[in-house]
Amino acid sequence: MIGTPILPEIRELIERRNFSALQRIFNDWMPVDLAELISDLPENEQAILFRLLPKDVATETFEYLDFDSQQNLLTALTQKDVTHILNSMSADDRTALLEELPGTVVQELLKLLSFKEFKIAKTLLAYTEASVGRLMSPDYLSVKKDWDINQVLEYIRVYGHESETLNVIYVVDDHGKLKGELLARELLLSTPEKKVEEIISEEKIITLTATQDQSDALEAFKRYDTVALPVVDSNGYLIGVVTVDDMLDVAEEEETEDIQKFGGIEALEEPYMDLTIPELIKKRAVWLVVLFVGEMLTASAMAFFEDELAKAIVLATFIPLIISSGGNSGSQAATLIIRALSLGEITVRDWWAIMRREILSGLALGGILGFIGVFRVIFWAMALGHLTMTWVLMGITVGISLVGIVLFGTLCGSMLPLLLKRWGLDPATSSAPFVATLVDVTGIVIYFSVASLLLRGILL
């Protein structure tokens, strides 16, 4: 069942306190759908419904809840229930919850954990945010390479229940060094007598380290189309496993960061609605001020051409039109290049091929806008009934400036991300607003220079 659960029916049963009917309905629901329902309820009802769930479903449902509902349940449920949930939930989901809570609460909650789970929680919390360690689960199964498949299968039946995944199990030596992996596929297809060592191939194993960035893990999952990857320490000892289901979330977070950076905002790192207004302002103010200070150069450029302006006010009329076209073509180019870089479609070494493409595109696009621009100026003058040679020249000035500015915008937008990348910086920092600002200042200089050349002695 995909989509939002039908609330009216549920609401009625809650009002009528018909818990047995609710329990029957919930029996058919997936934990994620239960979690969505509970998140949508007012805080005082969340615990009532949550207590209706069987223990194992309750823990899984809890894992899917949003942070606010989790926090509410931690206070509303009995200590016994909280203890059960915290001890039985996936280590990686628990880390995600604990890292959001205030330190004093975390200390209280850690006391509820068994010694084993306490050690795990402490270890995982020690990894930095956005590192592979925070996604890692220490609940994996490992077997020895001299076992046969039958032994492995028996081992799984006894010890497999707590393992985060059974789609892959790992092969280690007597010291815990990772020696290979056994896919569920291989387990299911081999004859029971086959030895583990006949199946695994040590050279081909792909590993992660706990301190690596989560984006590295995402790359590896994409590249190797796998459902789980082992995490090893610097000596090659197996310490945990990361599963593919976390990767779609990492991909989403990375995308959000990229988009926000490109929109000229610091990455929010939290949902829009969860940020306080002062935080929201802070995330936006820095870039906005930087761009504003940069854009001040336009005022200086304009002041430089004050004499020309005084002689021909009409020149001012077209400034916003002209500079914004440069900004728009610049954002387009930056968007294309930043994305192609991050997909690995192009590299910095391709700069010359890119520049050639962008020069041609810029000239063509500038030509199209220039043509429309000339037409607009001349048509307007005709409509007002004063089409003179001066207006024709004014039109040509606008047209030529547009070609120059669109070309310049396209080049800035495409080359700036490559330069940043070359210098080891994040190309996404050359956000659309940043390119637009850069192009605005130059646009004014180009426009007035063309005007000076063409209109000298006529308007100027």
The verdict on 129 binding its own copies (CB under 8 A) reads: no
Give the residue, chosen from 204, 349, 385, 389, that forms a contact with its own copies under the rule CB under 8 A: 204
Give the residue, chosen from 350, 355, 419, 429, that forms a contact with its own copies under the rule CB under 8 A: 350
Question: Cα(67)–Cα(97) distance, rounded to whole angstroms?
Answer: 7
Q: Which conformational region is residue 242 in: left (phi greater than 0), alpha (psi within -120 to 50 degrees), or beta?
A: beta
The distance of closest approach from Cβ of residue 167 to its own copies in the complex, given in angstroms and rounded to an integer, is: 5
The verdict on 389 binding its own copies (CB under 8 A) reads: no
Question: Cα(242)–Cα(228) distance, rounded to whole angstroms?
Answer: 6
Give the residue, chosen from 6, 7, 21, 296, that forms a contact with its own copies under the rule CB under 8 A: 296
Question: Hey, which residues between 402 and 441 contact its own copies (CB under 8 A)?
Answer: 406, 432-433, 436-437, 440
The verdict on 237 binding its own copies (CB under 8 A) reads: no
Question: Hey, which residues between 12 and 41 contact its own copies (CB under 8 A)?
Answer: 27-30, 32
The verdict on 281 binding its own copies (CB under 8 A) reads: yes
Binding footprint of its own copies, residue count (CB under 8 A): 122
Which residues lie below 8 Å from residue 398, measured CB to CB, with a gap of 6+?
A: 318, 321, 322, 370, 373, 374, 376, 377
Question: Cα(233)–Cα(178) distance, rounded to whole angstroms?
Answer: 10
Region near its own copies per CB under 8 A, out of 39-47, 107-115, 118-126, 266-274: 266-274
Closest CA to 185 of 149, 212, 160, 219: 149
The verdict on 277 binding its own copies (CB under 8 A) reads: yes
Pairing of the two strands 142-143 and 168-172: parallel
Question: Cα(160)–Cα(182) distance, rounded to whole angstroms?
Answer: 14
- Planar angle of CA 123, 127, 130, nearest 5 degrees: 140
The verdict on 357 binding its own copies (CB under 8 A) reads: yes
The verdict on 54 binding its own copies (CB under 8 A) reads: no
For 138, the token pair is 């220490």
The verdict on 346 binding its own copies (CB under 8 A) reads: yes
- For tokens 């547009």, what's the residue? 402
For 243, the token pair is 């599963």
Question: Cα(424)–Cα(126) distance, rounded to whole angstroms?
Answer: 28
The verdict on 299 binding its own copies (CB under 8 A) reads: yes
The distance of closest approach from Cβ of residue 180 to its own copies in the complex, given in angstroms and rounded to an integer, is: 13
Show the binding pattern over residues 157-176: x = contacts its own copies (CB under 8 A), - = does not: x--xx---xxx---------
Question: Hey, which residues between 244 and 263 contact its own copies (CB under 8 A)?
Answer: 244-245, 247-249, 251-252, 255-256, 258-260, 262-263
